Structure 1
């Protein structure tokens, strides 16, 4: 955890935020290892004695989620996963675990996200294939225009490319927030070593180790934290820009995500929201899908119509209060690579917003 980010952004206790709606500042607890202005091992502690929740900093990443023990129980095996497996042995283990294992599910995630976030930097990748997330971000920033000075919050940053791009394009501090530990480790390797390393799926459970040089101007202004997009661990109205690229259909409550974005953006600041409305019960209960289940309702199942009302103050019981759309939404092609012979093509819905 970069101390400059901690001091500037002044994170608050996510448990107090989620349970009581209060923004209680976190303080450094003990520091086990610190170097170069960053804490690699240590803790952050809630300043309210009635809570005093202790949040670990693991491998430089603070884990700031409301249900800390639940997240730790679900992800403990990933926090202790070895990072020094040779490529051949990774393949041997993947064969042994089998295609339906958590090990291979993680490799598939790393393959798809790593490829889209960084393969466009590889001269061997044909132009226009990888990099959908960058093209979508560029379109949104161009539409949004000038922003006030201030830090940037990248919700659901995944493998980190958007965070690096935002730092380079805005000149401010950027914090990338995500719940997926392996993807954040990929992003941190880019931040610390200037290289993206990830397994790239050929077919079945056959993967190749991909290593791509990835150096970005402004990478020193980026940090990556574990955090829940529904409860960003920050006091209100602290960010000049909030980006949520293909996150809306990956959370338990899409309206709660919109409220979180609305609350995080500073007055006059902007927000970018992209989603293909690709609903899944693994992430979002059917009842929370925005129109994707209600073809007999007022919006005839049109996700875009429900989102538009949620982003119009007073148009829906759960509408945001401060954000308003700037310009018409855009449809942006977004390619997800599954393996050598499979690509999934989305049309993601991009909305630019101003507070």
Structure 2
């Protein structure tokens, strides 16, 4: 955890924030290992004696989620996973665990995200044919930023940052601090390796459970402005209106409550700031209950199952009981192509819906 980010962003206790809406500052606890400007092993502690929740900092990443014990229990096998397994032995383990194992599911995630985030920097994997160029997330983010226009000075929050490329791109576009927030430990570990060592290392799936380990040089001049923490996009652990920009690239259909995500973004953006939201509306019950799918479950409803229409109402003040209060859509939404690589012979092509938003200032 970079101390400059901690001091400037002043995180609050996510448990107090989620349970009673209180923004209680976190304070440094124990420090087991640190350098001059960062803590690698230690804790952060809630300042309310009635809570006093202790949040660990593991390998430089603070774990700031409301249900800390639940997240830790679900991710224990990932937090303690070795990172020194040779590539060939990783393949042997994958063969032994089998295609339906958590081990191979994690490798598939790392393969798809690693390729999209850093494949454009790898001369051997940058292109997979006319429809399969890596870097969809970079192009989508750039299109949104170009149309959003100038923003006030201040930090940027990258919700659901995944493997981290969007955070580095946000830092390259401005002078402020950037924080990438995600719940997925292996993807955040990939992002932190890029930040600390300038290289992206990930398994790239050939077919079945056959993977090649890719090691891609990924050095970003503005990496010093970036840090990555574990956090819940529905409960970003910060006091209101602390960010000049909030980005949520393909996160809306990956959370339990899409309206709650919109409210979290609305709350986080500073006066006059902006937000970017991209989503293909690719709903799954593993992430979002059917009842929470935005329009995508009721063809007989007012929106006739059109997700875009429901989202537009949620982003229009007073148009829906769960509408945001400050954000308003800036310009016409865009449909952007987004390619997800599954393996050498399988690419999924999405049309992601990209919305640019600005937070109304008191003068508007």
Q: Does 1:59 align with 2:59?
A: yes
Matched, 1:179 2:183: yes
Corresponding residue for residue 71 of structure 2: 71
1:170 is paired with a residue of what secondary structure?
A: coil
CA distance in 1 between partners of 2:144 and 2:272 (Å): 16
- Residues 296-318 of structure 1 show CA distances to partners (whole Å, capped at 9, x for unaligned) of 00000000000000000000000
SS in 1 for 2:339: strand
The residue aligned with 1:28 is 28
Q: TM-score, normalised by structure 2?
A: 0.97
2:150 is the alignment partner of 1:146: yes
Distance in 2 between the 1:190 and 1:204 partners? 27
Q: Partners in 1 of 2:106 and 2:193 — Cα distance?
A: 17
| 1:210 maps to which of 185, 208, 214 | 214
Looking at structure 2, the residues matched to 243 and 115 of structure 1 have their Cα atoms a distance apart, in angstroms, of: 20
CA RMSD of aligned residues (A): 0.7
Match of 2:315 among 311, 327, 332: 311
Paired with 2:224 and 2:36, the residues of 1 have a C-alpha distance of: 11
TM-score normalized by structure 1?
A: 0.99
Number of the residue aligned with 1:96: 96
Q: Alpha carbons of 1:42 and 1:126: their partners in 2 closer, same or farther (altered >3 Å)?
A: closer
Asked if residue 238 in structure 1 is aligned to residue 228 in structure 2, the reply is: no
**Structure 1: stretches of 5+ with no match in the other structure:** none
Residue aligned with 2:326, SS: coil
Distance 1:170 1:204 in 2: 41
Show structure 2 runs of 5+ residues with no match: 360-364
- CA distance in 1 between partners of 2:354 and 2:122 (Å): 27
Report the Cα distance in structure 2 between the residues aligned to 1:283 and 1:83, rounded to whole angstroms: 28
Aligned partners of 1:287, 1:69: CA distance in 2, in Å?
27
TM-fit CA distance, 1:122? 1.1
Pair 1:258 & 2:262 matched: yes
Aligned counterpart, 2:289? 285
Counterpart for residue 125 of structure 2: 125
Within the candidate set 227, 250, 256, 2:231 is matched to 227
Q: Look up the match of 1:326.
A: 330
* Structure 2 partner of 1:44: 44
Displacement after TM superposition at 1:208 (Å): 0.3
Distance (whole Å) between structure 2 residues aligned to residue 333 and residue 166 of structure 1: 20
Cα offsets for 1:1-57 (capped at 9, x unmatched):
000000000000000000000000000001000014110000000000000000000
Aligned length: 355
Corresponding residue for residue 344 of structure 1: 348
User: Would the aligned equivalents of 2:119 and 2:126 in 1 still touch at CA under 8 Å?
Assistant: no
How many Å separate the matches in 2 of 1:125 and 1:182?
21
Q: Say whether residues 1:85 and 2:85 are aligned partners.
A: yes
Secondary structure of 1:83 counterpart: coil
- Which of 293, 297, 301 is the equivalent residue of 1:297? 301
Residues 222-269 of structure 1, C-alpha deviation per residue, up to 9 Å, x if partnerless? 000000000000000000000000000000000000000000000000
Question: In structure 2, what is the Cα distance between the partners aligned to 1:181 and 1:335?
Answer: 23
Match of 1:248 in 2: 252
| CA shift digits 1:157-193 (9 cap, x unpaired) | 0000000000111121000000000000000000000
> Is contact 2:164-2:180 (8 Å) kept?
yes
- Determine helix, strand or coil for the equivalent of 2:173: helix
CA offset at residue 123 of structure 1? Answer: 1.8
Alpha-carbon deviation of 1:126? 4.5
Question: Equivalents in 2 of 1:310, 1:151: separation in Å?
Answer: 25
